[in-house]
Each structure stands twice: as C-alpha cells, then as structure tokens.
C-alpha cells in the first residue's frame, strides 16, 4: 500500500535541522519537541552522536535551539539534557508543553530493565527538575497544556508485550490523570491500534495537543511493515514504515475521540524521508504549534536522521477529523 500526505499539508523543501547545524558532535538530529516560550520558539532535539560518514553511533543527548520564526534555528553551544548511570542508558525523544508559565518536558528513557517515560520541568532550559518516571514499559508521553477538571492530563503508550501478543502486538494510546504531576492514574484507553487502518503494529502519541474551539487537536505516529524489506538505511534490514495520523479529542473529556482522519496526515515521500538516513520511511511528529492566524506548524523527525517542518491551516485539519 502506498500512502500519501494529505493535500492540505505543505512540507518545507529541506529539513529545518541536520547534524551539520550542530556546533558539537552530532550525527542524527531528529524527534524534536517544539513550543513557544517567553516570546521565542524553543526546540529540544534528540542527538544520536557518532560518525555519519562511517554510519557509527556512540551515544545520545538532547540539544537545545531557539528561533524567532520557527524555521531558522540558533543551536546552543552544548547539549541541555542527558541521563546516564548504572541503570539508565539514555534519555531521548523530548516533547515540550508550556503549562502555567513553565515548560514541562516529557522524554523517553532506556534502562537496563525496561523502557520508561519521564517528566521534567524547567524555567530556563538549563536546570531541570525531574518530577516523575513511569514503571516499565511505558513511554511516548505528551502533556495537555492546561489542567482539565483540575487534573493534569497526559497521553501515553504502554508496551504490554505479554498480554498483547495475540494482536501482533498492537500497542495503543492511553490517557492518565494526576493531581500533582508526580503520581498518575485513572488510566483509560483512548485509541486502539486495530482501529487505525494504516497501523499494522503500533501507534503512539505525537505532539502535545493544541486547543481549538472544536476540541483538542493532536497527532500520533502509526507503524506498519514494508512488504519489500531491504537495507532502507544503515541497517541490513529495515522493514517498518512510520506515518503521522491526526485526531480530535473532546475538550472536557479528552479520553473521547470525537474525530479522526482515516488516512495518514503525513507520509514518507521526500528525499529526506525515503532515500537518505539511518532508518528510511519514518515520519515521527513531536511538536505542533497553532499560530494566531490559524497556521499550524508540525515538526517531525524524518528517517530518524533530520528534523523537518510541515504546515497546514487549522480549519483544514479540523475538517479532516470531522469529515466522516
């Protein structure tokens, strides 16, 4: 099956960030979180560093960049965040939500005993306070930008390998609530992977939701398998394809999906998405900004290698979710 991006999506011709833009050791620069904070666009990006030409990786950290227009980025001289100790292998894939005047960062964590998700808070992107970390295996978290019925709310993607083997394996999107950002519960299913026709394997939250008058608009990633596996990047075999989906959640009860686009919103099509990079045919959304004039900026990692930008009008995106 060949998928195409929605006609309302306008992709920038080139990535907005590559390893060549980074003033320190960098190789794969992708899966960024982006938000507006204190009058600037701010980006935290995943950096898997090593040697691009030799196709070798050595480690992971998270870098920081600022922008006046959301397109041209001033990368800071050193990484802003990393985690590594006897138990933690690395932190990666940050997503930024501005809430009550502070910047909250959700991130994934690889450990020697499972995959975890963390939430940290910062006011200057220099000092971070880690508020909570999930039990394994749960990651791909994104926070809503305001409390709902007095509670903090997040989307997340547990990885129940044992219980979901009958559905191959079928990882889904869930929602949890918290009174204090530290302790989370009241968990419920939002969207099951088998409901998404362009996801054979799993789905997961994308960018933090943005509020519209029709509901909470949010992206998600969806994964299926390429029926013609091959090299498709640095590895001997890479047979997965990642696309970006779009859904609309109820303003008062965001566990309810009130609209969803039935096709991929963004699919791999360009050179940077299909022909170049570590793992080709990958679209991984992590940032979405609704501008005052109605333009929506959607930031996504491409081929696990570079950071890209697409734009659309918010009314077109809402129409996609509500058209059927």
Overall domain count for the chain: 1
In a domain, 209, yes or no: yes
Contact status, residue 79 vs residue 61, Cβ threshold 8 Å: yes
Q: What's residue 47's pLDDT? A: 98
In a domain, 279, yes or no: yes
Q: What's residue 161's pLDDT? A: 76
CATH number, domain containing residue 142: 2.115.10.20
Helix H segments across 98-142? none
Q: What's residue 292's pLDDT? A: 96
Q: What's residue 237's pLDDT? A: 87
What is the rounded CA–CA span in Å between residue 286 and residue 312?
A: 16
Q: Rg of the chain's alpha carbons, rounded to an integer? A: 18
In a domain, 222, yes or no: yes
Q: Domain containing 22: what range? A: 18-322
Q: Which among 143, 145, 141, 101 has a CA at the least distance from the CA of 123?
A: 101
What is the rounded CA–CA span in Å between residue 225 and residue 240?
A: 4
The model's pTM? 0.97
Q: Which residues of 5-40 are buried (b: 16+ CB within 10 A; e: fewer)?
A: bbebbebeeebbbbbebbeeebbbbbbbbbbbbeee
In a domain, 61, yes or no: yes
In a domain, 5, yes or no: no
Instruction: Identify the residue whose tokens are 């195409």.
Output: 4
Q: Which residues of 217-233 are buried (b: 16+ CB within 10 A; e: fewer)?
A: bbbbbbbbeeeeeeebb
- Torsion angles phi and psi, residue 232, rounded to 5: 50, 40
DSSP bridge pairs for 121: 104, 129
Paired tokens of 5: 């991006």
Q: Which among 287, 308, 289 has a CA at the least distance from the CA of 106?
A: 287
What is the rounded CA–CA span in Å between residue 247 and residue 258?
A: 8
Q: What's residue 110's pLDDT? A: 97
SS3 203: strand
Paired tokens of 322: 């509500």
Helix (H), strand (E) counts: the chain: 2, 21
In a domain, 223, yes or no: yes
What is the rounded CA–CA span in Å between residue 116 and residue 135?
A: 6
**Is cis: bond before 55, omega within 30 of 0?**
no
Q: In tens digits, what is the pLDDT along the chain, a chain of 324 residues?
A: 899 999 999 999 999 999 999 999 999 999 999 999 999 999 999 999 999 999 999 999 999 999 999 999 999 999 999 999 999 999 999 999 999 999 999 999 999 999 999 999 999 999 999 999 999 999 999 999 999 999 999 999 998 877 766 656 689 999 999 999 999 999 999 999 999 999 988 999 999 999 999 999 999 999 998 766 678 899 988 989 999 999 999 999 999 999 999 999 999 999 999 999 999 999 999 999 999 999 999 999 999 999 999 999 999 999 999 995
In a domain, 3, yes or no: no
What is the rounded CA–CA span in Å between residue 43 and residue 26?
A: 16
SS3 137: coil
Contact status, residue 223 vs residue 240, Cβ threshold 8 Å: yes
Q: What's residue 162's pLDDT? A: 73
In a domain, 1, yes or no: no
Q: What's residue 200's pLDDT? A: 84
């Amino acid at each position: 099956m060949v998928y195409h991006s929605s006609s309302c999506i306008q992709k920038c011709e080139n990535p907005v960030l590559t390893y060549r833009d980074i003033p320190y050791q960098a190789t794969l620069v992708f899966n960024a979180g982006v938000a507006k904070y204190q009058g600037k666009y701010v980006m935290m990006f995943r950096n898997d560093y090593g040697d691009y030409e030799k196709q070798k990786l050595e480690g992971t950290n998270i870098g920081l960049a600022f922008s006046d227009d959301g397109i041209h980025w001033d990368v800071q001289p050193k990484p802003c965040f990393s985690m590594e100790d006897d138990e933690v292998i690395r932190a990666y894939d940050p997503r930024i939500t501005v809430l009550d005047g502070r910047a909250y960062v959700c991130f994934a964590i690889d450990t020697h005993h499972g995959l975890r998700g963390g939430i940290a808070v910062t006011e200057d992107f220099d000092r971070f306070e880690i508020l909570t970390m999930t039990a394994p295996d749960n990651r791909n978290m994104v926070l809503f930008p305001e409390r709902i019925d007095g509670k903090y709310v997040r989307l997340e993607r547990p990885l129940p390998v044992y219980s979901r083997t009958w559905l191959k394996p079928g990882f889904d999107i869930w929602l949890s609530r918290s009174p204090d950002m530290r302790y989370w519960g009241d968990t419920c299913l939002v969207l099951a992977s088998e409901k998404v026709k362009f996801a054979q394997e799993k789905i997961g939250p994308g960018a933090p939701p943005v509020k519209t008058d029709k509901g909470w608009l949010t992206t998600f990633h969806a994964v299926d398998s390429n029926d013609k596996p091959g090299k498709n990047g640095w590895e001997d075999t890479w047979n997965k394809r990642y696309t970006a989906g779009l859904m609309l959640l109820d303003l008062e009860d965001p566990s309810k999906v009130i609209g969803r686009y039935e096709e991929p919103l963004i699919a791999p099509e360009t050179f940077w998405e299909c022909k170049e990079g570590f793992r080709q045919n990958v679209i991984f959304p992590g940032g979405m900004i609704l501008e005052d004039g109605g333009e929506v900026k959607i930031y996504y990692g491409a081929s696990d290698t570079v950071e890209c930008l697409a734009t659309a009008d918010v009314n077109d995106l809402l129409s996609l979710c509500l058209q059927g």
